[in-house]
Amino acid sequence: MKALLLASIALAALPLLAAETQQSTPAQPTDSPLVKAAKAPKKRKATIVITNETLIKSGGHITTTASQAPLPPTPPPPNDEQLLAEAHRKQVEAKAAADRAAAEKKVRERREAYAQRTMAEQEGATEESLFDDPAVTEHRAEQVTTTTEQKKPPL
C-alpha cells in the first residue's frame, strides 16, 4: 500500500517538475529578417562633400559654357483696350451680384409678408399657441373655413 501511495505521489509531482525545467530554460524566439535588420547596428556612411579639390583628386571635371541661352521674353503689358474690357467685365459682374441680392431680398420680403398674413388669418394665433391644444387648433381651422365659405358668391 505504501508503494502505491509513493508511486501516485511521484506521478503527481512529475508534471510540476517538468514545468519547472521548461521555465528555467526559456526558448529563444527566432526573429524575422525584418526584425533582425531593425536590431542590427546602424552603420553610417561617410558623407562626401564635392569641392574642386575632391574633383581634381578623383579625376572628375568641371564644365562651363561660353554663352548662356537668352531668357524668354516677358509678356507685353496690357493695352488700353484690354484695361477697359477688364473694367467693363468687373462692372457687369458687380451689377449682376447686386441684382441677385435684390431678387433674394424681394423673395425674402414676400415670404415674410405671406407668413404675417397667414398668422393674421388665424385670429391672433401665435407660433407658440398653434400647437398647444388640438381642440383650439381645430376650432380656429373651422372658423377660417366657414368665413371663406361665406365669402363665396351664390351660384
**pTM of this structure:** 0.32
Higher pLDDT, 41 or 111: 111
Give the pLDDT mean for 112-138: 69
Burial status of residue 9 (CB atoms within 10 A of its CB: 0-12, 13-18, 19 or more): exposed
* Calpha distance 9→1 (Å, rounded): 13
* Residues contacting 131, CB < 8 A, separation 6+: 137
* Contact between residue 121 and residue 144 where contact means Cβ atoms under 8 Å apart: yes
Residue 100 pLDDT? 96
Longest dimension (CA), the chain: 124
* Calpha distance 122→141 (Å, rounded): 8
Residue 27 pLDDT? 60
Q: What is the pLDDT of residues 54-80, one digit of tens each?
A: 777 777 666 777 888 888 999 899 899
Place of cell 488700353: 80
| CB neighbourhood size of 130 (10 A) | 13
